[in-house]
């Protein structure tokens, strides 16, 4: 039995009225999408997309007041995005979002058909719709904001530490410490709390009491019982044990 196909619902955002009118005309001519709405105002788009569900957004990047990337960052849920812009230097940034294509203005029919083919594959069948939701979930995680600083109380002062300077976090004597080249700071929360809060692309739990900044790994040595020891790029050449059940994940993340 053939799965019923559905027409994707799309929303169009472009601050240039003529560009928006042309895109609307091209899309209607394909009969492959339903246009749920369109606007020249990014803030109006933010309001609409915050309260209405669509399958995809055709989105300009450079707009006054609120650019396309800023608009997406403020949405509670990330839609599939097809960027439309006159500038190609935004392409790399676009990959940080849930984008499936990047169309340069003036948009050609061939470009548009390519993007719509990708969209149909994601939204054309119930099974593909599930794939699209998975992509949205991944995109939400990629767009999640992670703190770049963490606080530490030193006497009656609060000191802020850049997470990029932390080689590792560790638990000792019922306290949690952030280790940097300068010193070790006591910080609030447990290692588990920090693991859930910090960017998983940078930090990996290698032991129940240790959260490692992968950028500071210099050497790895095999250890007895299937474990490993990580040596850091700090002046002390700090060595950290890796629990056996975390070895596979560490190998995967460091690609060895």
Residue 235 lies in a domain: yes
Residue 50: CATH number of its domain = 3.40.50.2300
244: its two tokens: 């056996």
| HEC readout, the chain | CCCCCCCCEEEEECCCHHHHHHHHHHHHHHCCCEEEEEECCHHHHHHHHHHCCCCEEEEECCCCCCCHHHHHHCCCCCCEEEEEECCHHHHHHHCCCCEEEEEECCCCHHHHHHHHHHHHHHHCCHHHHHHHHHHHHHHHHHHCCCCCEEEEEECCEEEEEEHHHCCEEEEECCEEEEECCCCEEEECCCHHHHHHHCCCCCEEEEECCEEEEHHHEEEEEECHHHCEEEEECCCCCCEEEECHHHHHHHHHHHCC
The 239-242 sheet, strands edge to edge: 217-222, 228-232, 239-242
Residue 160: CATH number of its domain = 2.40.50.1020
Number of domains in the chain: 2
- Quick one: DSSP state of residue 6? -
Structure confidence at residue 127 (pLDDT): 45
| Average pLDDT of the segment spanning 39-43 | 96
pLDDT at 43 over 50: yes
Q: Do both 134 and 17 map to the same domain?
A: yes
Q: Do both 72 and 191 map to the same domain?
A: no
For the stretch 161-216, pLDDT in tens is 999 999 999 999 999 999 998 899 999 999 999 998 898 889 999 999 999 999 99
Residue 4 lies in a domain: no
Residue range of the domain that includes 159: 149-254
Q: Do both 135 and 155 map to the same domain?
A: no
Q: Do both 46 and 116 map to the same domain?
A: yes
For the stretch 13-33, pLDDT in tens is 999 999 999 999 999 999 999
Question: Given 76, 110, 143, which residue is the final one in a domain?
Answer: 143
Distance of CA 129 to the CA centre of its chain: 20
Structure confidence at residue 99 (pLDDT): 78
| Average pLDDT of the segment spanning 52-75 | 91
Q: 144 pLDDT band (50/70/90 cuts)?
A: low
Question: Given 103, 124, 143, which residue is the final one in a domain?
Answer: 143
Structure confidence at residue 164 (pLDDT): 94
For the stretch 82-93, pLDDT in tens is 999 887 655 555
Residue 58 lies in a domain: yes
Structure confidence at residue 21 (pLDDT): 95
Q: Do both 164 and 248 map to the same domain?
A: yes
Residue 93 lies in a domain: yes
Question: Given 143, 177, 209, which residue is the final one in a domain?
Answer: 143
Residue 245 lies in a domain: yes
| Average pLDDT of the segment spanning 129-140 | 52
pLDDT at 75 over 50: yes
Structure confidence at residue 237 (pLDDT): 94
Q: Do both 186 and 72 map to the same domain?
A: no
Residue 237 lies in a domain: yes
């Amino acid at each position: 039995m053939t799965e019923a196909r559905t027409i994707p619902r799309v929303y169009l955002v472009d601050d240039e009225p003529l560009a928006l009118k042309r895109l609307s005309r091209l899309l209607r001519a394909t009969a492959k999408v339903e246009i749920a709405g369109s606007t020249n105002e990014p803030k109006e788009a933010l309001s609409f997309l915050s309260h209405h569900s669509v399958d995809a957004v055709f989105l300009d990047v450079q707009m006054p007041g609120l650019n396309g990337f800023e608009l997406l960052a403020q949405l509670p849920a990330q839609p599939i995005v097809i960027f439309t812009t006159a500038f190609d230097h935004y392409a790399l940034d676009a990959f940080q979002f849930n984008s499936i294509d990047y169309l340069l203005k003036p948009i050609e029919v061939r470009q548009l058909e390519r993007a719509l083919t990708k969209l149909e594959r994601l939204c054309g069948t119930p099974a593909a719709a599930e794939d699209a939701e998975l992509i949205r979930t991944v995109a939400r995680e990629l767009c999640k904001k992670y703190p770049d600083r963490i606080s530490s109380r030193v006497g009656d002062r609060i000191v802020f530490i850049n997470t990029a300077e932390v080689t590792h976090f560790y638990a000792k004597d019922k306290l949690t410490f952030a280790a940097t080249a300068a010193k070790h700071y006591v910080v609030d929360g447990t290692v588990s709390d920090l693991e859930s809060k910090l960017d998983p692309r940078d930090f990996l739990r290698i032991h129940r009491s240790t959260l490692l900044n992968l950028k500071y790994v210099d050497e790895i040595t095999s250890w007895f019982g299937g474990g490993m020891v990580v040596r850091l790029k700090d002046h002390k050449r700090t060595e950290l044990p890796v629990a056996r059940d975390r070895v596979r994940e560490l190998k995967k993340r460091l690609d060895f």
